[in-house]
Amino acid sequence: MDIVFQFMWPYATMKLLFDFLPIIFFFIAYQYAGIYVATAVVIVAAILQLAYVWWRHKRIDNLLLASNALVILLGTITLLFHNDMFIKWKPTVIYWLFAASFLGSEYLLQGRSLVQRMLDSNIQLPQPVWHRLNIAWISFFTIMGAINLIVVYHFSTRIWVDFKLFGTLGLTLIFVLLQAIYLFKQTQGQTPTDDTKSLP
């Protein structure tokens, strides 16, 4: 199973934790000062995250840019109108935008989906497997967006904040783990590429 985790761990898990940093700051701020202060904090965290990525890589991933832009936009509207429904809808909007992006990539990226473009430098898979992985991500983002709305409209703000960190992180890690197991079954017998061997 080494070949799977040699690219899944550094690329997926560490990137996942980095992407969750604004949510962690949001959660901490909410515990001490409530939803509106937490919203202001997450706006600042999103701006700093974008600035760091630009400083480090001189480019920003389109998905990260879209996600943080929505945080800034809907967070600002939340503060201006003093209505927390805007920031609560943000996860659903971004999840469904991601789902649409992965779906569109099936038809607009010359047969190479977003999943394949992100990972095929580290692992070689048959085209049907790439297609199934892309569909899995589309399904995951679609379902996560729906779950967020269920929590928003049927539970308290405190439960939504807890779910935003622990529920979302837990479900995402489970999904990544299941994907790693699936990839292990698909890559049995393969040997790591030189680029994969160099990963920590």
Whether pLDDT at 130 is above 70: yes
pLDDT confidence bin for 5, thresholds 50/70/90: very low
Residue 194 lies in a domain: no
pLDDT digits (tens, 9 = 90+) for 32-65: 999 999 999 999 999 999 999 899 888 888 878 8
pLDDT tens, position by position, 79-101? 999 999 999 999 999 999 989 98
**Token pair for 162:** 């807890």
Write the CB contacts of 16 (distance below 8 Å, at least 6 apart in sequence).
169, 172, 173, 176
| 28 in any annotated domain | yes
Q: For residue 147, what are its two tokens?
A: 């779950």
97 falls within a domain: yes
- For residue 44, tell me if it sits in a domain: yes
Residue 157 lies in a domain: yes
| pLDDT (tens digit per residue) in 101-117 | 888 887 776 666 777 77
Q: Is residue 199 part of a domain?
A: no
Contact 192, 5 (CB under 8 A): no
Is 63 within a domain?
Answer: yes
In a domain, 196, yes or no: no
Q: What is the pTM of this model?
A: 0.80
* Angle at alpha carbon of residue 57, lines to 199 and 103, rounded to 5°: 80
Any idea which residue has 């779910």 for tokens? Answer: 163
pLDDT digits (tens, 9 = 90+) for 61-81: 887 888 899 999 999 999 999
**What is the domain extent for residue 37?**
2-189
SS3 state at 161: helix
Tell me what pLDDT residue 114 has: 73
Residue 4 has pLDDT above 90, yes or no: no
What's the total number of domains in the chain?
1
